[in-house]
Amino acid sequence: MQWIERGRAASWHLLGSLIMASLAAMLVFLVWFPYPYREVSGGRELFGLIVAVDVVLGPLLTFIVFNRSKPSKELWRDLAMVVALQLAALGYGLWSVHTARPIYLVHEVDRFKVVTLVDIDPAELSQAPPQFREIPLYGIRVIGARTARNNSELFSAVESAIAGKDISAMPSRWQELGATSQAQIRHFARSAAFLRGRAKDGGVALDRLIAKAGLKEVDVIGLPLVSRRDDWSVLMRQDDLNIIGYVQIDAF
């Protein structure tokens, strides 16, 4: 009988944990990692690992500590400690996901790069143009990264690249996606026909996005999207360079 009661208590705790995990998933995947960044930046795997541990942890501890023979005050104290531990673990996990969230999609000469919160050194934010000195609280902003103004900046960029830090993660090099960036995009852009030839699915996803945007193939161009994971491309309207979507195609 005791095992049945423990199982029932753990089941109710599991239900509550799943509801809590669902709410956390809405925050992560609708606000911090909207598509395709959950794929590009690895947000899905990170969140899945954290939630899986948290969802198992709470009900398992409840199953262990639940015992009707305990005094009521002691039982509720034990259950409160389990819930507190679970919430602390979830809070730490969400903070870890938050620090890994993408904040900028940065155009860098012939490609776009995803910059996450953890990529940015807070001490360097004061070097950014005024409009970029505060990190966005949500969403991913599309910006540009200017080229070096002199040999000193060029040498510094080379040193940083060797150390694993691209200019896209340097606040001092950020700029609005203006005429210079647009000219570079048009120069290095790939045609939709080229992308179709590189697509592993025969261009099905590409055609779906083009049709959804109400465009023709000749109206769409693409640029590589560099990330920590698979090869992606950013699709844009050829006339105004507005982004219409993303496809898992290597555009290099």
Residues 6+ apart with CB under 8 A from 114: 37, 40, 41, 102, 104, 105, 106, 140, 225, 226, 227, 228
pTM, two decimals, is 0.82
What pLDDT sits at residue 245? 93
Cα–Cα distance, 192 to 179 (Å, whole number): 23
Q: Are 142 and 244 in contact (CB under 8 A)?
A: no
- Name the β-bridge partners of 89: none
Residue 208 parent element (H or E)? helix 204-212
What pLDDT sits at residue 178? 85
Q: How far is CA 190 from CA 60, 98, 196, 228, 252, in A?
A: 53, 33, 10, 21, 9
How confident is the prediction along the chain (252 residues), in pLDDT tens digits per residue? 677 787 888 888 888 888 888 888 888 888 898 888 888 887 777 787 777 777 788 888 888 888 877 888 888 888 888 888 888 888 888 888 888 899 999 999 899 999 999 889 899 999 999 999 998 888 899 999 988 787 777 777 777 777 777 888 899 999 998 888 899 999 999 999 999 998 888 889 999 999 999 999 999 999 999 877 678 999 999 989 999 999 999 888
Tokens 């898992």 correspond to what residue? Answer: 248
What pLDDT sits at residue 38? 83
User: What are the φ/ψ torsions at residue 202 (nearest 5 degrees)?
Assistant: 80, 10
